[in-house]
Amino acid sequence: MKILHYGLGYPPERSGGLVQYVTDLMTEQFRQGNSVVYLFPGRINLFDRRTKIKKGKERIPGIVSYELINSLPLAVFGGIKEPEKFMTSVDENIYENFLNELEPDIIHVHTLMGLHQEFFTVANRLKIKIVYTSHDYFGLSPNPTFYFSGKSWDDENSLNYWLNVSQAAMSVKKLRALQSSFYPKLRDIVKKFKKDSFQKEAHYSIKSNSEYSENQIVSFNNLKDYYQNIFEKIDNFHFNSTVAKEVFEKNLRTLPKSSFLLSISNADIHGGKKHISLDMGQINKITYIGQYAEFKGFYDFLELAKRNPSLHFEIYGEDINPVVPYNVKNRKRFASDEKMQVFKDIQLLIVPSRWKETFNFLTIEALDKEVPVFVLENVGAKDLLPSSFILKGVREMLLSGEYRITYKIDSFTKHSKKIESEYMACLSRK
């Protein structure tokens, strides 16, 4: 089978769970004998603004890469400020020539960021099936997390929300700078200078529609329609959790033609039968791993530390210095080759995300290593856990009791085969 994937790119230019999943899945699919091609948004050419698709160098053995030059902007931070620039039309021949030459059996899209509507229009016309994995909410929302100014807006996804999110958005000029080839080096330099600074996220006043211009209202209305039209061109939705499924089905204009529910995984997951035995009375240290950010529940974790001064707490994630209670140790970022040791030292892990997280790789990685982990009920990876390990809120958490579970996790090889079976099911449908 020839599979065309669309994602955000490769490390180190791009990072996060989406990038890890795409690169690991492509590698495994190639290992299983498939022909695999990767299309991703690449460089911005300031001297030639035409959109092109250019064959790139081989970054993963056996995976053929194509770079989408001058893609649509990537709204990876905070939302959209200039909606008209996210709807720029391109010549359909750019995608038609590419797909006709490539002749993929199926297309697997992992995000709408950067990709023109014309790509989906052409794929439909050529009768190439499209599978979409729900890694983020971009397209349903201008902010990939649906989280803005202190709460998730998936239940209030009105035009007013889209207008207000623009307050926190970067200009397209800044987003383009982040997309440049020199950004990873610039990012590392900036981090060195900012390593001792920390600032909590801003909360914005919620303005009425009348406080925005008529042009903004029309543009954001058009943008909402633009993405809903794209979603209607997708043949099969891969929901990676019940949380993601509920958010998507609540906010899609038209319910999916077809869908399936399957937790995602990565190449670090070995799988098999696992056991966890947890006596809360023996716990003296609780761990947080992730961004030091409100939407990840970071401040809720610090509140838990304040309420339990006799326990030790530790945080991993960023090379910055937030103000923390005296019983919290900031261990900052750890390297990938240190991950095993970090997990070995964890007594109890908490995943307190406030946003309706579509999955959460940290949870499945902990479970694969038999590390006790509690998650909030809006974390997608809760599907892997019994109800006793799922919290309504960190502040209500009871640090007492005994917990024992036996469970089974699929290996990544088995996960990949399940994805391929869904491809085959999609191809068999007219």
Contact between 400 and 210 (Cβ < 8 Å) = no
Torsion of the alpha carbons at 199, 201, 205 and 206, rounded to the nearest 10: 170
> How buried is residue 335: exposed, middle or buried, by Cβ count under 10 Å (0-12/13-18/19+)?
exposed
pLDDT of residue 35: 98
Tens-digit pLDDT profile for residues 27-70: 999 999 999 999 999 988 877 889 999 999 999 999 999 999 99
Does residue 400 surpass a pLDDT of 90? no
219 Cβ contact list (under 8 Å, min separation 6): 83, 84
Average pLDDT over residues 363-386: 96
pLDDT-above-70 percentage for the chain: 94
Does residue 202 surpass a pLDDT of 80? no
Superfamily of domain 272-409: Glycogen Phosphorylase B; (3.40.50.2000)
SS3 151: strand
- Record: fold of 2-266+415-428: Rossmann fold (3.40.50)
pLDDT of residue 181: 57
Tens-digit pLDDT profile for residues 232-245: 999 999 999 999 99
Does residue 198 surpass a pLDDT of 80? no
Domain with CATH 3.40.50.2000 in the chain: 2-266+415-428, 272-409
Average pLDDT value for the chain: 92
Beta strand 373-376 with 349-351 is: parallel
pLDDT of residue 104: 98
Q: Quick one: tokens of 80?
A: 């959209």
How far CA 330 is from CA of 229, 313, 382, in Å, comes to 45, 9, 26
Q: Quick one: tokens of 242?
A: 């019940």
What is the Cα–Cα distance from 359 to 117, expressed in whole angstroms? 26
Average pLDDT over residues 201-215: 90
Tens-digit pLDDT profile for residues 142-196: 999 999 999 999 999 999 999 999 998 888 888 877 666 555 544 444 444 444 4
For residues 340-374, one letter each, b for 16 or more C-beta atoms within 10 angstroms of the residue's C-beta and e for the rest, the string is eebbeebbbbbbbbbbbbbbbbbbbbbbbbebbbb
Tens-digit pLDDT profile for residues 73-110: 998 777 899 999 999 999 999 999 999 999 999 999 99
